[in-house]
A and B are shown apart, each in its own frame.
Chain A
Amino acid sequence: MTEDKIIKAFSQFKGISPDKNYALFSKNSILEARRIVPRENFANESKRLIFAMPQFTKRIFAFNKLVPSLAFAALLFAIIVSGTGLLGPKQPKIAGLNQSLVAEAKQIIETIDYKLQEEPKTEPKREESKSIDELLKEATL
């Protein structure tokens, strides 16, 4: 077959067109998909991941696979517990009080102490000298 014949044969493929019902259904479902998921969710990758998470968990539980479900539940529990700090190193306690509370109390006491030191000392008022007339007056009363 010559090159011309091959090229002519290719041009006949222009007659290929999709089924009209398929085209309509596909178009509607594509446009609908965008309406369900807001545009901003696609703009941000992290938002997209968050959006995908519920679908992911649903899929795991929908298949009723016990082991992956338990593993996933354990993973979630570990994330929550570590997030709240329950698995972190325990603070040493003094007489039932949390170490940080004690430190805070110390800080307050030190501040008060410092402020007391800073207060200007009030000197006792000197008695004013009295004149002889005044003293005589007091003596005669």
Chain B
Amino acid sequence: MLEDEKNLIKKAKDGESHAFGLLYDWYLPKIYRFVLLKVSHREEAEDITHQVFLKAWTGIADYNHRGFPFGSWLYRIARNSVIDHYRSSGRVGTEISLESAGIELPDSENKDSKIDSKLQLEVIMQSIPRLKEVEQDVLLMRFVDDMPHEEVANVIGKSVGATKLIQHRAIRNLKDILKHDRR
């Protein structure tokens, strides 16, 4: 969570653009990668992310702090924006490479293992949009952004127990997709 976030939110609610700018700087990478891994298209991810922050800035006067970080609210807006995007474009995910996503793997002595990891990552990245929306959301929030179950549950509007169950199913389904693709 961003330091002094409550104070920044209060200032942003009063219309201080500098305060909102700091919230933007902190949350932009998180929201961007969440959207990118869901839509698998860089330009579309940039447009949707832009819309998310624009909606947040124009609607921040109505934002009420409920004990969760400001990011929870942004993730909720992002989820809805991605769904709206699918509805309007009718497109559901395309293939994206690690390079175009801006992912660089750490240097390894073993070249073969690096290639293996790269292939595995690309396969996983391309499999994410094939999961159910809520399964994608749970996996991305839990394992990319390390969000606790409680916060994820708040974003998706389910109980903590239900969120854990969705996570379990999501991993199982992803394993099935990967196994099926290997055949």
With A1-B175, A26-B53, A43-B61 given, is the CB distance from A6 to B124 under 8 Å? yes
B37 at interface by CB-CB < 8 Å: yes
With contact pairs A1-B120, A9-B121, A39-B61 given, residues A16 and B50 touching in the complex (Cβ less than 8 Å): no
Given A9-B120, A34-B15, A16–B58 Cβ distance below 8 Å?
Answer: no
Q: Are B174 and A6 neighbours in the complex by a CB distance under 8 Å?
A: yes
The answer to whether B24 touches A6 (Cβ under 8 A) is: no
Roughly how many angstroms separate A83 CA and B102 CA in the complex, as a whole number? 59
- Taking the complex as formed, is B36 at the interface, i.e. its CB lies under 8 A from any CB of chain A? yes
Q: Which residue of A lies closest to B37 (CB)?
A: A13
Interface residues on B, range: 35 or more
* Chain B residues with CB below 8 A from A35, complex form: 17
Indicate if the CB atoms of B178 and A18 lie closer than 8 Å.
Answer: no
Question: What are the residues of chain A within 8 A of B174 when measuring CB–CB?
Answer: 6
Q: Please report the number of residue pairs spanning A and B whose Cβ atoms sit closer than 8 angstroms.
A: 97
Interchain CB contact under 8 A, A30 and B57 = yes
Verify B57–A34 contact, CB threshold 8 A.
yes
The dominant DSSP class at the A interface is helix
| Count of chain A residues with a beta carbon within 8 Å of a chain B beta carbon | 30
Bound complex: CA of A3 vs CA of B171, how far in Å? 7
Least distance between A12 CB and chain B CB atoms (Å): 6
Which B residues lie within 8 Å of A23 (CB)? 28
Give chain A interface residues in 2-26, CB to chain B under 8 Å. 3, 5-7, 9-19, 22-23, 26
A17 touches B32 (CB 8 A): yes
Asked if B103 is at the interface (CB within 8 A of a chain A CB), the reply is yes
Residue of A16, A29, A33 near B29 (CB, 8 A) is A16
Residues of A within 8 A of B (CB): 1, 3, 5-7, 9-19, 22-23, 26-27, 29-31, 33-35, 37, 39, 42-43
